[in-house]
Amino acid sequence: MAGNTEHDKIAKMAGIPSAISEEINRFMGDTNPPKVFEDHNTENKIFVCGHLNVSIRTLMGKEKLQDRGKKEWVQKEDLKWLLATRKEYIVCYYLHLAVDNIWENKDRLKGARETVDTCINSWEKNYAVVVPGTEPYLREVLRFLRNNAENIRRIIFHNSDSG
């Protein structure tokens, strides 16, 4: 996963307030998430296999919630909750997931086997989760990523590695 520095720089480029970026970073990394986000993790009950009253934290079991971006069902629950309570956070949530995906392909980018654009396209096709109502936010993030691919590449490689 990309570090908070990379997420913050890219979020700032996208016009996302630093307070929102910081809260999403804490939420996604499961590092002292704000109370309202932790309440979502523990109090939001999900219907699973005939069981109601099961929280995300309980369902994740021993897995760390910092891996929430790798679980489609968690992303769906997060997006539904954000749409109902904190719409202004959805762009940052999607952006965080996309940047992590680009970061995870850093070696392929460095070796020129892949471009930032192909990472974006792959993430959109294979990993971007949509729930009804979040499509405009996803389109906004994809447009931003595509328009800023080279700047994102520089941030990922910290301007010091030609990658």
Q: Which residues contact 71 (CB under 8 A, 6 or more apart)?
A: 60
144, 14 in Cβ contact below 8 A?
A: yes
Q: pTM here?
A: 0.91
CA distances from 142 to 48, 69, 145 (A): 31, 17, 5
Q: Give me the tens of pLDDT residue by residue for the chain, a chain 163 residues long.
A: 788 999 999 999 999 999 999 999 999 998 899 999 999 999 988 876 766 678 888 888 767 777 888 889 899 999 999 999 999 999 999 999 999 999 999 888 887 888 999 999 999 999 999 999 999 999 999 999 999 999 999 999 884 444 4
Q: What is the DSSP letter of 12?
A: H
